[in-house]
Structure 1
Amino acid sequence: MVLLPEPVRVAIDVASNAVWGPWTLALLLGTGVFLTVRLRFVQVVRFREALRAMRPAEGRGVGALSPFQAFMTALGASIGTGNIAGVATAIVSGGPGALFWIWVYGFFATAIKFTEAVLGIRYRVAEGGRLSAGPMHYLKDGLGAPRLAWVYALVAGVAALTTTPFTQPNSMAVVLQSQFAIAPWVSGAVIAVLTWLVVIGGVKSIGRAAERLAPLKVGLYLVGGLIVILAHVTRLPEVLALVVQEAFSMRAAGGGAAGVGMMVALRYGIARGIYANEAGYGTAAVAYGSARTEEPVRQGLQAVMEVFIVSCVTSTLSALVILVSGAWTSGLTSTAAVARGFETVIPTVGGWVVAFCAFLFGYTTLIGWAYYGEQFLSYALGPRVTKPYRWLYCGLIVMGAMGKVETIWAWGDLMNGLQVFPNLVGLVGLSGVAAATLRRPEVSTEPVRAAPPA
């Protein structure tokens, strides 16, 4: 990615824009709306129960992680630098209106992620002492589409291997360089070693790390962000009005057709929104499907809270910080723009807070996605790929830290967009299973199925 020639970079941008065209945006929103109606607005009707579901619990049954560890692994993986850098690039590139579409997709994304979590538990497979979960299993065993399952696993595995080790360390390196003048290759090397120390221990090591780090990073970022917003509170009504106004802007831009402002805001809002909350990727089925529980509804409600925290709390905080502070017009992007916003109120120290949070956000996402990619590629290529994958995953982190910001994020959009399509087919096709499970709050007591004979 570092040495890519200009024509290749342009091709990546073109392909990314093609994948995230109007049809993809309509498909994602349409699926979210369909599932919201099919599940009878579960994210609203059972919100209080979802809040209670976040309490730590050990659980019982087959599974590598406790229900709380599974929740924290999913939350840690989704609350990454996409909530800082991704949201910042959405606002800088798509304008303030992008935040409105992050909210819109976030609301309907809760139903998508609920369905992913429920199906992840219902169709997980125990084989040779290993537990495997993910969309490939509900595509194969639930939908009866083994070829589509294999395609999903391969695309998602390649996406995990070639996006997360690039996007997360890249954003971490950007803010570390801007705040402490640390060379990107140095940041990449340190991040790679720290990631390897956890990833090499497998899913239980990842779950323990996420359980400790996820609450810390969210709490610290919330405190710092609220200080900045409160310091600029007089600008808040103006900013919120601008967000809504720009979300539906029909002005022409650069001589283009009227309405282009709205489409740009919509494109970046949903693309970065899904990057932040991961609803639609299918990763929730891997994390929650690894929980030691027989309660798919409880895990689904935890998934609802995960999206709420990501889209309505951390992502909103990042956007408002750079909007009320004016940092979105500073010429900076990625984590550097958020750091500038913090520094308008907390000079020097504010940038350090963002740097530390970006490090924690990116680190927990790196270790969570390492497990996701391992599950996907093990399904597609066999379990022997696990150890080489772990080493390659960590090695690519150094390259990612040194890449060009715009190209890195365009590649991430492209690969993650490709894995969305087969997953949504499974969610819509099996929405009846999720709805039936929801109507039985006592939850399914079916044991985890053994893998069918070869």
Structure 2
Amino acid sequence: MLPESIRNAIDVASNFVWGPWTMALLLGTGVFLTLRFRFVQVTRFGDGLRAMVPARASGAGALSPFQAFMTALGASIGTGNIAGVATAIVSGGPGALFWIWVYGFFATTIKFAEAVLGIKYRVAEGDRVSAGPMHYLKKGLGSPKLAWSYALIAGVAALTTTPFTQPNSMAVVLQSQFSIPPWVSGVVIAVLTWLVVIGGVKNIGRAAERLAPLKVGLYLVGGLIVILTHAAQLPAVLALVVREAFSFEAAGGGAAGVGMMVAMRYGIARGIYANEAGYGTAAVAYGTARTEAPVQQGLQAVMEVFIVSCVTSTISALVILTSGVWKSGLTSTAVVAEAFNTAMPTVGGWIVAFCAFLFGYTTLIGWAYYGEQFLEYAIGLRVTKPYRWIYCGLVVFGATGKVETIWAWGDLMNGLQVFPNLVGVIGLSGVAASVLRKPEQRQVEPAAPPA
């Protein structure tokens, strides 16, 4: 248990990093790229849907394009889509959902740029691939110091956030639904994570390819049942979301504009935590693909953000709001489980527990690879094996931590990661735009023929 003074310092630092300037930077970058890429998330949405189909693998890389897509999707759709969104609604009010949508729309172009630049500037030799913002910061912008700084910050963030936030949310719901002690959950999750992570990126890709579609489908079906059960509340809830997004008072009164700023702070912070646009992780995941079609991977990244922000995050928020449990005093995955239980007593909580486990597990194994890539760049290949063991060991501690402090630390570290990455994304946006306009990139690769 951390001392109160340290917990308070983490909260203060997190709130400082996620001040109005950060929100303005993220939204501003998304708007700028949307204009520069000529609304690619709208004009090429159909191509994005087709890009989701497994395509032929051609070129250097470690994973098939579909495996790279599933690894990125599996890593971004974590318990942040359940626990993070729930925390945003409970702490920021219903209006936070509106800002999750707003950021999600513009964030598609940030992730598009990250994926395209990840492919363009990666270092690939057969199955051995190194990709990420550190490469486009060094090779594209010509700034090796900024590249090293990003890699170190992002590596520390991966090592000290994901093994804490994901197991924590998984343990919360397993305790609330099955009375499993958090330390027991932590040990089991750590062992299961080790079984995949120790085998490297190919093991991670194969696991993500199987688990990511399962978890999205199951959560979508369960969430729709809850929403349909409370369908009569839906019009009022949607009106509340829009009204509270622009509220001039905080809950219970307060200074003008406070309510809106709180909703924006939690909506955008949890929005980026859910879809990861701005972190630079997309460059790592999509950069592993065996393809020479960067726009195809960019369009997959667009669809990834759409699925995260407009499907899974929306499901989480609406089940909490339509069922009314957002005022129950519960938080994290426990409040979502309670919402599912209002439509499917007992079974609903089990569904959330299983989904939270799958969400957290796929994120854990995906981020293990991200952190490995970052720290290998910053420190060298000698860090790989110790990193994998330490990463898995920290899972046990994450499962038993304090919910609010865990998420505040996650916000802090991920916020620090955003700044150097956006320097590269904005500085090289012209490169991504020129790749997008190339005639040979207008078509996505054909789907693989049946076996």
- Return the offset for 1:255: 6.3
1:251 & 1:413 partners in 2: Cα distance?
25
Does the residue aligned with 1:344 lie in a helix, a strand or coil?
helix
1:357 maps to which of 348, 355, 358: 355
Q: Deviations over 1:326-369 (max 9, x none)?
A: 11001000000000000001000000000000000000000000
1:287 & 1:328 partners in 2: Cα distance?
34
2:276 & 2:439 partners in 1: Cα distance?
25
2:176 maps to which of 175, 178, 183: 178
The match for 1:69 is: 67
The match for 1:20 is: 18
- Return the offset for 1:254: 6.2
Give, as a single letter, the amino acid of the residue that structure 1 aligns with 2:135.
H
Does the residue aligned with 2:247 lie in a helix, a strand or coil?
coil
The match for 1:168 is: 166
Does the 8 Å CA contact 1:253/1:260 hold for their aligned counterparts? Answer: no
- Return the offset for 1:441: 4.3
The alignment status of 1:84 with 2:82, answered yes or no, reads: yes
2:245 maps to which of 244, 247, 251: 247
Q: Deviations over 1:236-293 (max 9, x none)?
A: 0000000000000002556642110000000000000000000000000000000000
1:439 & 1:294 partners in 2: Cα distance?
15
- Return the offset for 1:86: 0.2
- Return the offset for 1:59: 1.4
Give, as a single letter, the amino acid of the residue that structure 1 aligns with 2:157.
A
Does the residue aligned with 1:275 lie in a helix, a strand or coil?
helix
Give, as a single letter, the amino acid of the residue that structure 2 aligns with 1:429.
G
1:130 & 1:252 partners in 2: Cα distance?
52
Consecutive unaligned residues of structure 1, counting only runs of 5 or more, are 445-454
2:431 & 2:351 partners in 1: Cα distance?
44
- Percent identity (aligned): 85
Does the 8 Å CA contact 1:113/1:303 hold for their aligned counterparts? Answer: yes
Consecutive unaligned residues of structure 2, counting only runs of 5 or more, are 443-451
2:408 maps to which of 407, 410, 418: 410
How does the TM-score come out when normalised to structure 1? 0.96
Does the 8 Å CA contact 2:33/2:110 hold for their aligned counterparts? Answer: yes
* Count of matched residue pairs: 442
- Return the offset for 1:443: 3.6
1:281-360 equivalence runs, <5 A: 281-360=279-358
Give, as a single letter, the amino acid of the residue that structure 1 aligns with 2:339.
G
Q: Deviations over 1:156-190 (max 9, x none)?
A: 00000000000000000000000000000000000
The match for 1:367 is: 365
Q: Deviations over 1:177-232 (max 9, x none)?
A: 00000000000000000000000000000000000000000000000000000010
The alignment status of 1:143 with 2:141, answered yes or no, reads: yes
Give, as a single letter, the amino acid of the residue that structure 2 aligns with 1:87.
V
- Return the offset for 1:126: 2.8
- Return the offset for 1:57: 1.8
1:139-288 equivalence runs, <5 A: 139-252=137-250, 256-288=254-286
The match for 2:131 is: 133
2:17 & 2:213 partners in 1: Cα distance?
34
Moved more, 118-127 or 15-24: 118-127
Give, as a single letter, the amino acid of the residue that structure 2 aligns with 1:392.
I
Give, as a single letter, the amino acid of the residue that structure 2 aligns with 1:60.
S
Does the 8 Å CA contact 1:335/1:358 hold for their aligned counterparts? Answer: yes
Does the residue aligned with 2:291 lie in a helix, a strand or coil?
coil
1:179 & 1:60 partners in 2: Cα distance?
46
1:334 & 1:126 partners in 2: Cα distance?
40
Does the 8 Å CA contact 2:61/2:128 hold for their aligned counterparts? Answer: no
Moved more, 333-342 or 118-127: 118-127
Give, as a single letter, the amino acid of the residue that structure 2 aligns with 1:167.
T
Does the 8 Å CA contact 2:61/2:127 hold for their aligned counterparts? Answer: no
Does the 8 Å CA contact 2:247/2:259 hold for their aligned counterparts? Answer: yes
Does the 8 Å CA contact 1:294/1:443 hold for their aligned counterparts? Answer: no
Query: Residues 438, 319 of structure 1: CA spacing in aligned structure 2 closer, same or farther, 3 A cutoff?
Result: same
Give, as a single letter, the amino acid of the residue that structure 2 aligns with 1:393.
Y
- Return the offset for 1:128: 9.1
Query: Residues 128, 67 of structure 1: CA spacing in aligned structure 2 closer, same or farther, 3 A cutoff?
Result: closer
Does the 8 Å CA contact 2:60/2:126 hold for their aligned counterparts? Answer: no
The match for 2:91 is: 93
Does the residue aligned with 2:59 lie in a helix, a strand or coil?
coil
Does the 8 Å CA contact 1:199/1:205 hold for their aligned counterparts? Answer: yes
1:296 & 1:315 partners in 2: Cα distance?
27
1:389 maps to which of 369, 387, 390: 387
1:346 & 1:143 partners in 2: Cα distance?
53
Query: Residues 343, 252 of structure 1: CA spacing in aligned structure 2 closer, same or farther, 3 A cutoff?
Result: closer
1:252 & 1:323 partners in 2: Cα distance?
18
Q: Deviations over 1:10-31 (max 9, x none)?
A: 0000000000000000000000
1:144 & 1:266 partners in 2: Cα distance?
35
Give, as a single letter, the amino acid of the residue that structure 2 aligns with 1:159.
A
How does the TM-score come out when normalised to structure 2? 0.97
The match for 2:49 is: 51
2:164 & 2:137 partners in 1: Cα distance?
28
- Return the offset for 1:123: 0.1
Does the 8 Å CA contact 1:297/1:441 hold for their aligned counterparts? Answer: no
